[in-house]
Amino acid sequence: MGKKFQLDDVIEAQQFDRDTLSAIFEVARDMEKIEKNSSGSRILRGYLMATLFYEPSTRTRLSFESAMKRLGGEVLTTEDAQEFSSAAKGETLEDTIRTVEGYTDIIVMRHFESGAAQRAATTADIPIINAGDGPGQHPTQAFLDVYTIEREIGKLDGIRVGLVGDLANGRTVRSLAYLLAKYKDVKVYFVSPDVVKMKDDIKDYLTSKGVEWEESSDLMEVASRCDVVYQTRIQRERFGENIDLYEEARGKYIVSPAVLEVMQKHAVIMHPLPRLDEITVDVDRDPRAAYFRQAKNGLYIRMALLKLLLIGW
């Protein structure tokens, strides 16, 4: 490794530089080997992780809890953290954190308010991992996305990534764009219905970092050029009563076997899940359908982060 560093909290994707990401990915690869060993790791034996979830996200919670248990650690589960500060009680987040940190060695927190994870980290003496704070960040998702690209394509410098679907609201694609800007000669294509186009702040950021990008309405053309087609779900809840607009948007760019036909042999399709029908199920059988491997990579990334935060390198 050479360079050693201390990881204190995981709050937002941008806090990590390229070397740190590379080091985390190296640990994640070790974790793949450990998880395959069915006799069970004892690396985090005696450590306790609390999942403090203020809104439900069973997928993310299970991924973290599996990661901790695969390393021999133990878990305290709170799916209903809202109960701490329920109307009748009104406890502040800071007081809740001070109480919970007395029971555990690390807190994985999901909250509906942007900035909540940072407030928790400022308060706590133990490590905090942000497992999503509202419209804010979900850094471990961004890490697993980049880790998956490297695992599937074999490189990060020089890759071409097509971001498809809801680019306006998805925090996933926004965080991914931030992280891709840390690598060289990256080219990003934005393919989205007009109502959910990528916002200017990300475009400006990419430009400032020297990342080439272009918008396109031709998914087939983009798919034929890219290493990664990153599809996302059009979120109905963003359209309110404009069901017509939603239906038009969601049907516009579907990844189907026709898209597979124009894609290169080495290229892959990714998706943060859950999906509806923006990737048709007959795509699943193709080896280039990487989205379930991507979900599994979330386990390795979270194992790596838990190890690094609790016992270091």
Among 18, 59, 155, 266, which one carries the catalytic annotation? 59
Residue 197 within binding range of its own copies, rule CB under 8 A: no
Among 60, 104, 172, 232, which one carries the catalytic annotation? 60
> What's the closest the beta carbon of residue 100 comes to its own copies, in angstroms?
7
Is 89 in the active site? yes
Which of residues 193 and 298 has its CB atom nearest to its own copies in the complex?
A: 298
Is 174 in the active site? no
- 255-284 residues in contact with its own copies (CB under 8 A) are 273-276, 281
Residue 138 within binding range of its own copies, rule CB under 8 A: no
Is 266 in the active site? no
Alpha helix ranges (H) inside the chain? 18-36, 58-70, 93-100, 116-123, 139-153, 171-180, 200-208, 219-225, 243-250, 257-262, 291-311
Q: CA-to-CA distance for 100 and 288, rounded, in angstroms?
A: 43
Residue 175 within binding range of its own copies, rule CB under 8 A: no
Alpha helix ranges (H) inside 181-290? 200-208, 219-225, 243-250, 257-262
CA atoms within 13 A on the CB side of 136: 23
Residue 286 within binding range of its own copies, rule CB under 8 A: no
Considering only 8, 15, 40, 212, the residue that binds its own copies (CB under 8 A) is 40
| Local structure of residue 169 (DSSP, 8 states) | T
Site string for its own copies, 62-101 (x = CB under 8 A): xx-xx--xx---x-xxxxxx-xxx--xxxxx-xxx-xxx-
Which of residues 35 and 150 has its CB atom nearest to its own copies in the complex?
A: 35
Residue with tokens 């003496």: 125
> What's the closest the beta carbon of residue 83 comes to its own copies, in angstroms?
5
Residue 53 within binding range of its own copies, rule CB under 8 A: no
| Local structure of residue 10 (DSSP, 8 states) | B
> What's the closest the beta carbon of residue 116 comes to its own copies, in angstroms?
17
Q: CA-to-CA distance for 112 and 144, rounded, in angstroms?
A: 22
Residue with tokens 């359209």: 239
Q: CA-to-CA distance for 53 and 131, rounded, in angstroms?
A: 9
- Please report how the helices 18-36 and 291-311 are oriented relative to each other, as an axis angle in degrees rounded to 10: 100
Residues labelled catalytic:
59-60, 89, 110, 138
Where along the sequence are the contacts to its own copies (CB under 8 A)? Answer: 37-41, 45-48, 50, 56-59, 62-63, 65-66, 69-70, 74, 76-81, 83-85, 88-92, 94-96, 98-100, 102-105, 233, 235-237, 273-276, 281, 292, 295-296, 299
